[in-house]
Structure 1
């Protein structure tokens, strides 16, 4: 994902939580996922080389990258 697309995406989302190298945004405007083109629920940005996620529910994930960061798009 290029810088312009990433900046446009993040500016349209609502910041939710930041812990360590993981930042989460909520999709309150039903933007389409860049991978599958369906609306996604949250964007999880993993900035560190290694991150651990503890998922409290089963969900589908789409994955992309930006500037060396892993971008996870969640679908519940």
Structure 2
């Protein structure tokens, strides 16, 4: 993962709070981990964050400048 700013410039911001930033992938950008389009990107702002899953997801994970990045893939 080379540049988070470049990646998120192609995504739609959906939510931001003290723990996360959530972006929706509305243009089918490829996941940098598995190279398949992902649904959402969750940028964790803290070292420890608890997330609730409301539907089954596959998740790819990488770290950018110390922040965990979660790329979600919804089940079809």
TM class, shorter-length: over 0.9
Whichever structure has more helix as a proportion of its residues is 1
**Aligned counterparts, 1:8-47, within 5 A:** 8-47=6-45
Instruction: Provide TM-score, normalisation by structure 2.
Output: 0.92
Aligned mates of 1:65, 1:56 — CA distance in 2: 23
Q: TM-score, normalised by structure 1?
A: 0.92
Structure 2: stretches of 5+ with no match in the other structure: none
Structure 1: runs of 5+ lacking an equivalent: none
| Deviation >2 Å, runs of 4+ | none
Deviations 1:8-62 (A, max 9, x none): 1011100000122211000011000000000000000001011000110010000
Separation in structure 2 between the aligned mates of residue 27 and residue 71 of structure 1, nearest angstrom: 14
Q: Provide the secondary structure at the position in 2 that maps to 1:43.
A: strand
Q: Secondary structure at the match of 1:72?
A: strand
